[in-house]
Amino acid sequence: MSYSCAPAGLASGSPERVLRPIRLLAAFASLLCLSSIHAIAQTNQAPSLGINIADVNYYSPQQPFLDIFKTGTGWRTESATGYTNEENLLQLDADGNVKTLAPAGGASHNYTRVGLLLNQNLPTPYYPSGQYVVLYQGEGTISYGLDAALVSSSPGREVINVAAPSVGGIAVHITSTDPNNTGNYLRNLRLVQAGNEAALSAGQIFNPTFLNRISPFQAIRFVGWMRTDTSTPNQGAWSNRPQVSNQFYGTDAGVPLEIMIALCNTLGADAWFNIPHMATDDYITNFATLVHQQLNSNRNVYVEYSNETWNGSYPQTYYMTTQGALLWPSAAPIDQNRNFYGMRVAQTGDIWKSVWGSDFSRVTVLMGTQVGNTGIATLSLNCALWSGAPCSTNHGITAVANAPYFGYDVPNTFTLDQLFTEIMQGGLVVGGYPGGMIKQVIDWARIDKTMANSYGLKLLGYESGQSLIGGSDTALTTLYIAANRDSRMGAAYSSYYQGLQSAGFTTINHLSDVGTYTRYGEWGALESVLQTASPKYDALIGFISANGSSSTSTTAPPPVPTGLTGAAASMAQINTNWNASTGAAGYKVFRNGANVGTTSSSSFSDTGLVAGTTYTYTVSAYDSAGSSGPSAPVSIATLAPAIVAITSPVNGAVFKANGSINITASASGTSGIKSITIKGDGTTLQICSNTTSCSATWQGKTITKGTHTISASAIDASGLSTSTAITITDLK
């Protein structure tokens, strides 16, 4: 059901419009409408203006990464006639690379290749034309389609050309991989504009055009990049989190935390994270630890547990209620939902306090609420059912955050003039708000500010902006899209954000940075990352400029280290080195995302490792201004001892003749085999050099009746040795 709780005096049935339709649990409706709190007019210091950045996927006009492959959502199975939807049969490695085109378990299948779409369905001017470079490791065959055509090919690098970008985008197909069945399958595919190839190779992550568009904003909220509003069960385990080495960042796993931190460090912006609703305490602890290690020390962080856990459109709302029911089975659903949410916010705050220690002053833990509906917040702040109540004190919570969108439906016969009159003044919509759409949400926000003040908390806006949604009404969709492109929307935004400032917000995030306008809404400040201006974007930048603040730090940390490489020194040690970063006081080295040491030089030896194990390393530079983002990752395996086996005779073999015994042995090793030695009862029978197989003959006349030992040892190219032995019996 749709539900709206309005302050006393609002005409019955007046709708509240937020990001997506609000559907609360049916039992909530009768319990949440609290008495009106009179608005208090006040003038406040200008709030920081942040930005929600849109989801990563192949059709997002945000285009945030130099490596366009990162926006992919995963490989699809294909035949000559189209998709076969057999992705469940693909054999993928941990990073999402296709190891073989053979189906899992030898199942029958229709697909003959796998494919991927990139830069599809983007608004004009689509994406840049010209040459692009495809880089990869492994062996196989790649083909291209739609806007792209192959220009040249060499091992590990191909050049394609996009003569005329269109809504079609770029199609990439793998028609063979690991053709020699050696395990050298196609992996680590990257697609980059030819002019950005050097920057990508040097370790740069982000599209400079994208950075330019969002650089003025003071905080970056990652609700979309973190896939907060999905119900993927593996969101809760830290071991299942997305990794920097993943082939794609557009899957349900989301963008790796290291990449989000790197974006904030690059921009000099504060970070706003949404902790997954299924996150365990271990997940939250590791999350807080990694942010503390890698986020620049001159930046702050906002911690929000999940997103809109009162909104019935999202799986997290159901999760809160069902988990609350397990703890408090006799309580009403609204109390189960709000108390469980409040408890987890408080527990999240306790964990961050413990991890950050004296640096916790840089952390804002917030309680989310529905704008103008104080009951949503107060039930969670009080959390009367929890033994640790109240949640509002002693748990590090310092703010309440709402989403003060403006907008409600108007007749589909409205003109643009009528719509903007309703936005700014009201009076044209039956049952509309006196004073118009903007005044409505400012009045509701003041109610929230009064409530926040009563708990000694700040008021934040986790999302904001217009919320005109045409839905299935084509006329309304056309009207709303035109309105968002109209210069009067810029004037409305200026008035709106000034009103939010007067209501007492300290930080407000617009939703969103870049997004296509559709019947589902017009959320983007820009419609394409290639767009340089729009009424909404210009008004947002104007508000930041007028209030004298932006995300750009006056003191920047050192640049990201480049050229990270390394090699195994032994079965337990890996040595790494990199190019020095100008001005760096030192470097932090990370193994599999965990900080394993610091050094003032541009090299590091990591010890105590497991033989034959692959580790992924990144390194960041730091000085008094903070830390750079992570370098491009490199994966290195420790040395593994050679494996040697006696293939003939078999262990326990029995001989009854006086003839000779033929012995064969084989060996393998990651660094190659230097020699194999075969012995009989300790006497050397044969030494074979620079080969993986060896044969020897043990003369029968030297073998007495009884049990004997045959042994084989191998030395690999790095000098590591291993051996094996069997026993035989001679009966004579």
Of 464, 483, 467, 487, the residue nearest 539 (C-alpha): 487
Q: Are 150 and 52 members of one domain?
A: no
The whole-number pLDDT of residue 682 equals 92
Residue 4 lies in a domain: no
Residue 551 predicted with pLDDT over 70: no
In the three-class reduction of DSSP (H, G, I as helix; E, B as strand; rest coil), residue 281 is classed as helix
Q: What angle do CA 521, 527, 531 make, to 5 degrees?
A: 165
Token pair recorded at residue 20: 């997506």
10 pLDDT more than 70: no
336: Cβ contacts below 8 Å, ≥ 6 apart: 320, 321, 323, 324, 325, 327, 328
Question: Residue 657 — pLDDT band, cuts 50, 70, 90?
Answer: low
The greatest distance separating any two alpha carbons of the chain, rounded to the nearest whole angstrom, comes to 114
Residue 45 pLDDT level (bands cut at 50, 70, 90): low
Is the pLDDT at 291 greater than 50, yes or no?
yes
For residues 43 and 502, is the Cβ–Cβ distance under 8 A? yes
- Do residues 574 and 680 share a domain? no
DSSP letter for each residue of 286-298 = HHHHHHHHHS-TT
pLDDT band at residue 549 using 50, 70 and 90 as cut-offs: low
Percent pLDDT > 70 in the chain is 92
Q: Give the residue-averaged pLDDT of 569-595.
A: 88
Q: Is residue 21 a part of any domain in this protein?
A: no
pLDDT on residue 556: 67
Cα 74 to Cα 59, 114, 248, distances in angstroms:
13, 10, 7
On the question of pLDDT at 664 being above 80, the answer is yes
Is a pLDDT exceeding 50 seen at residue 673? yes
Higher pLDDT, 101 or 553: 101
227 and 277 Cβ atoms separated by less than 8 Å: no
Digit-coded pLDDT (tens) for 118-132: 999 999 999 999 999
Written in H, E and C, the secondary structure of 78-93 is: EECCEECCCHHHCEEC
How far is 535 from 358, CA to CA, in rounded Å? 43
* CA 674-678-682 angle, 5° bins: 125
The span from the CA of 180 to the CA of 112, in Å, is: 18
> What pLDDT score does 103 carry?
94
φ and ψ at residue 497, rounded to 5 degrees: -70, -30
Q: Name the residue with tokens 């994966």.
A: 635
Q: 546, 573, 607 — which closes off a domain? A: 546
Residues 223, 368 within the same domain? yes
Instruction: State the DSSP H helix or E strand holding residue 655, giving kind and residue range, or none if neither.
Output: strand 654-655
State yes or no: pLDDT of 718 exceeds 70.
Answer: yes
CB 101 within 8 A of CB 240: no
pLDDT of res. 550 = 57
What count of Cα atoms within 13 Å lies in the side-chain half-sphere of residue 607? 1
Cis peptide before 165 (omega within 30 of 0): no
Q: How confident is the model at residue 604 (pLDDT cuts 50, 70, 90)?
A: very high
pLDDT score of 705: 86
- Answer with the residue of higher pLDDT: 595 or 27: 595
Same domain, 456 and 533: yes
Tokens of 471: 């839905």
Summarize pLDDT for 386-424 with one digit per residue, the tens: 999 999 999 999 999 999 999 999 999 999 999 999 999
How high is the mean pLDDT of the chain?
Answer: 89
Q: Is 379 found in the same domain as 263?
A: yes
Asked if 45 and 80 sit in the same domain, the reply is no
- How high is the pLDDT of residue 31? 40
CATH of the domain at 337: 3.20.20.80
Question: Does the residue 554 lie in any domain?
Answer: no
3 part of a folded domain: no
Instruction: Give residue 548's pLDDT band: very low, low, confident or very high (50, 70, 90).
Output: low
Same domain for 598 and 676, yes or no, is: no
pLDDT at 17: 31
Residue-level pLDDT at 671: 73
User: Would you tell me how many other CB atoms lie within 10 Å of the CB of residue 356?
Assistant: 18
DSSP for residue 406: B
Task: State which of 637, 670, 701 marks the end of a domain.
Answer: 637
Contact 436, 424 (CB under 8 A): yes
Long-range contacts of 318-327 (CB under 8 A, 24+ apart): 319/231, 319/277, 319/278, 320/277, 321/25, 324/385, 327/385
CA dihedral for 232, 237, 239, 243, sign (positive or negative): positive
**Assigned domain for 2 exists:** no
Query: Across the beta sheet with 562-568, what order do the strands follow?
Result: 562-568, 574-579, 603-606
Give, for 723, the enclosing helix (H) or strand (E): strand 721-730
Residue 574, domain CATH = 2.60.40.10
Element (H, E) at 665: strand 661-668
The Cα–Cα gap between 393 and 652 comes to 73
Q: What pTM value is reported for the model?
A: 0.77
Residue where a domain stops, chosen among 188, 204, 220 = 204
Helices of type H across 170-256: 197-201, 208-214
- Is residue 555 assigned to a domain? no
pLDDT of 558 over the 70 cut: yes
Question: Residue 618 has what pLDDT?
Answer: 87
How many structural domains comprise the chain? 4
Q: Are residues 607 and 674 in the same domain?
A: no
Cβ count near 26 (within 10 Å): 11
Residue 246 confidence class, pLDDT cut points 50, 70, 90: very high
Would you state the structure tokens that stand for residue 41, as one six-digit string?
């007019």
Residue 401 lies in a domain: yes
Is the bond preceding 649 in cis, omega lying within 30 degrees of 0? Answer: yes
Q: pLDDT higher for 342 or 583?
A: 342
User: Which two tokens mark 121?
Assistant: 């369905």
The pLDDT value recorded for residue 115 is 97
C-alpha distances out from residue 663 to 44, 667, 674, Å: 89, 14, 19
Rg of the Cα trace of the chain? 31
Distance, CA of 523 to CA of 525 (rounded, Å): 7
Nearest to 564 by CA among 501, 623, 495, 621: 621
Q: What number is the average pLDDT over the span 65-94?
A: 96
Given pLDDT bands bounded at 50, 70 and 90, which one contains residue 21?
Answer: very low
- The domain in which residue 591 lies consists of 562-637
Query: What is the model's pLDDT at position 234?
Result: 67
Q: Is residue 9 part of a domain?
A: no
Same-domain status, 571 and 686: no
In one-letter notation, the amino acid at residue 490 is G
pLDDT, tens digit (0-9, with 9 covering 90-100), for 195-232: 999 889 888 899 999 999 999 999 999 999 999 998 67
pLDDT of the residue at 40: 31
What's the average model confidence in pLDDT over 722-729?
Answer: 90
Q: How far apart are CA 378 and CA 243, in angstroms?
A: 37
pLDDT value at 22 more than 60: no
The CA distance from 592 to 603, in Å, is 17
Q: Which range has the worst mean pLDDT, 280-294, 453-467, 667-681?
A: 667-681
- Check: CB of residue 445 under 8 Å from CB of residue 516: no
Kindly state whether residues 540 and 603 are assigned to the same domain: no
The sign of the torsion formed by the CA atoms of 302, 305, 306, 308 equals negative
Tens digits of residue pLDDT in 489-541:
999 999 999 999 999 999 999 999 999 999 999 999 999 999 999 999 999 99
- Same domain for 350 and 232, yes or no, is yes
Residue 340, CA atoms < 13 Å, CB-side half-sphere = 25
Give yes or no: residues 96 and 177 share one domain: yes
